[in-house]
Amino acid sequence: MTERTTAVLIERLGKPEVLVQREIPLGDPGTGEVHLEIEAAGVNFADLAMRMGLYTTVPPRPFSPGFEVAGRIARVGPGVEDWKVGDRAVALIRYGGYARDVIIPATQLFPYPASFEPTEAAAVPVVFLTAWVCLFEAGNAREGETVLVLGAGGGVGTAAVQLAVRHGLRVIGTAGTPEKRAFVTDELRADACFDSRGDWAPDVERHVGPRGLDLALDPVGGKGTKAIRDMLAPLGRLVLYGLSAAMPSRKRSWPRAIMAYLRTPRIHPVTLIEPNIGIFGVHLLHLGPKEFRVLPPALEEIYGGLETGELRPIVDSVFPLTRDGAVEAHRRLHARQNLGKVVLSAAL
């Protein structure tokens, strides 16, 4: 008899309410694969983009979104030696995370500390590893440098601020509410945090002075990207990892998306030579097998910092791992209400 599981699916594009809950076939783990019973799933901005048809690398509909999950191994396939039934793990996946079960390659699993709840564990991999790759792999951040983190109150933003501060960088952020800005400076120890809903560029420019920025992390795009480029110091680096300016509300707006794209500057390589600056793009789940090898040691160091309390998962809110829970989670992210990570839990 074919096993089945329950999943939240995208069957058609639109507002959060288009999400549906269905029973789907599960199958058996093949060679090198495991069956993971999902206890919690992280919700990311890219999930919203998938639902709205603004994300390019998706399977044919219907499919379940969800890049990161935490759970327990229920079955192991042939050839799996490092994992056994009952082990707890987090996993990075391209899609399929809004489900009660998933079959995935064992190479995509990572252990997490026994002291963590599943909701905390699921709040870590995508945001902290994205921040890590942006800062230290693409951005080559060095102690003493000045880094600007746009969206510092979000999931990746709160992770990036913590990692940057821990590694001795001077951190400046932007965030959309006074509460978020106070959290970024008072709790996460950023040097300053300015209003992302206003014209933050003059504030940042005054704060950093004539030297400019050594590094900037930009998930927003649009006209802010040009402002950052103009503030980069010699040998400064801009790391782009999103275009959230294209998706301001629950409903897809092609004019808004096109305007955000057009406002993001077209950059010719020759224009980078005189100012001595570099620009990098990051998509965590599009790393190749060779580059993917940087993630396990990075995640080990991240979880080590989380265990000692030097770092912490910033969990904004937890919703049930159901269709209704996913709808509410998406609404919260659309409204930019979250401070840190939004998570779905099978225990609710």
CA distance 93 to 289: 13
Mean pLDDT of 288-306: 89
**Is the distance from CB of 301 to CB of 265 less than 8 angstroms?**
no
What pLDDT, on the 0 to 100 scale, is given for residue 258? 61
Residue 282 clears pLDDT 80, i.e. is over it: yes
What pLDDT, on the 0 to 100 scale, is given for residue 215? 98
Residue 313 clears pLDDT 60, i.e. is over it: yes
At 288, is the pLDDT very low, low, confident or very high (cuts 50, 70, 90)?
confident
Q: Which two tokens stand for residue 204?
A: 């940042």
Residue 306 clears pLDDT 50, i.e. is over it: yes
What pLDDT, on the 0 to 100 scale, is given for residue 103? 97
Convert the pLDDT of each residue in 71-121 to its tens digit.
999 999 999 999 999 999 999 999 999 999 999 999 999 999 999 999 999
CA distance 108 to 44: 18
What pLDDT, on the 0 to 100 scale, is given for residue 198? 85
Secondary structure (DSSP) of 122-175: HTSHHHHHHHHIIIIIIS---TT-EEEETTTTSHHHHHHHHHHHHTT-EEEEEE
> What's the whole-number average pLDDT of the chain?
92
What pLDDT, on the 0 to 100 scale, is given for residue 267? 82
Count of H-run helices and E-run strands, the chain = 11, 15
Q: Among the listed ranges 8-17, 253-262, 263-272, 309-318, which one has the minimum average pLDDT value?
A: 253-262
CA distance 119 to 90: 11
What pLDDT, on the 0 to 100 scale, is given for residue 125? 94
**Is the distance from CB of 65 to CB of 98 less than 8 angstroms?**
yes
CA distance 287 to 275: 29
Strands 33-43, 68-76: pairing is: antiparallel
CATH numbers and ranges of domains, the chain: 4-124+313-345 (3.90.180.10), 126-286 (3.40.50.720)
What pLDDT, on the 0 to 100 scale, is given for residue 252? 57
Convert the pLDDT of each residue in 221-280 to its tens digit.
888 899 999 999 999 999 999 876 656 555 556 556 566 556 677 788 888 999 999 999
What pLDDT, on the 0 to 100 scale, is given for residue 141? 98
Convert the pLDDT of each residue in 176-224 to its tens digit.
999 999 999 999 999 999 999 989 999 999 999 999 999 999 998 888 8
What pLDDT, on the 0 to 100 scale, is given for residue 1? 46
Radius of gyration, CA atoms only, the chain: 20
Tell me if residue 273 falls in helix, strand or coil: coil
